[in-house]
Amino acid sequence: MKDPNTEPASTGTVASPEELSRRTFLARLSLGTGAIGTLILSVPLVGFIVAPLFRTPLAVWRSVGKVDGFKVGETSSVVFEDASPLPWAGVTAKTAACLRRESEQEFIAFATTCTHLGCPVRWLKEARLFMCPCHGGVYYQDGMVAAGPPPRPLARYEVRVRNGTVEIQTAPTSISRFKKEAGAHG
């Protein structure tokens, strides 16, 4: 007959108090480590979901050049920093607009994003049209749709002249913002 105290615990017999406390310790250690790991991984996710609720998108006026740098009747491409650039955004913090000088003090700025699927439009000086290369969208010089699939006119930015400088009001952009603004101008 075998002595139960000499038989290894792995054969299905009752574990000794030392082994039971080691199992309890390891189980608690595993649960604690798992909980800490889950907490560490969930903090950025929760921040990503909750942060937009507390961020107030502020409109910011960005300088795009001196008034004298733009000729009456001409449309130019201007580049400026987005209203909500992140510290690590780099070049992606830049955005563009097509700015046309209508008169001595009146400017119009159009977003360079097609209202169809968001492709970048470009100004064709000779044709006096905005063209979208993705699906053939065409806009007149006033931003209204001329041909192709775009459902709305180009969105516009607010423009002002201040101290001899042309400024564009930019805000955090989204497709829905451009849809609302384009609808207001169409």
pLDDT tens column, 31-42? 999 999 999 999
Which residues lie closer than 8 Å to 47 by C-beta, 6 or more apart? none
List, in sequence order, every residue forming a beta bridge with 138; answer none if it has no partner: 131, 147
The pTM of the whole model exceeds 0.85: no
pLDDT at position 18, please? 66
pLDDT at position 179, please? 43
pLDDT at position 81, please? 81
d(CA 97, CA 79): 7
Phi, psi of 64 (to 5 degrees): -120, 0
Q: Which CATH superfamily is domain 60-185 in?
A: Rieske [2Fe-2S] iron-sulphur domain (2.102.10.10)
d(CA 102, CA 109): 10
d(CA 8, CA 96): 75
The CA radius of gyration of the chain, in Å to the nearest whole number, is 31
pLDDT at position 13, please? 64
d(CA 43, CA 48): 9
Contacts of 74-79 with CB under 8 Å at 24 or more apart are 74/100, 74/101, 74/125, 75/99, 75/100, 75/123, 75/125, 75/141, 76/100, 77/112, 77/122, 77/123, 78/109, 78/168
Low-confidence ranges of the chain (pLDDT < 70): 1-20, 55-57, 84-86, 172-186
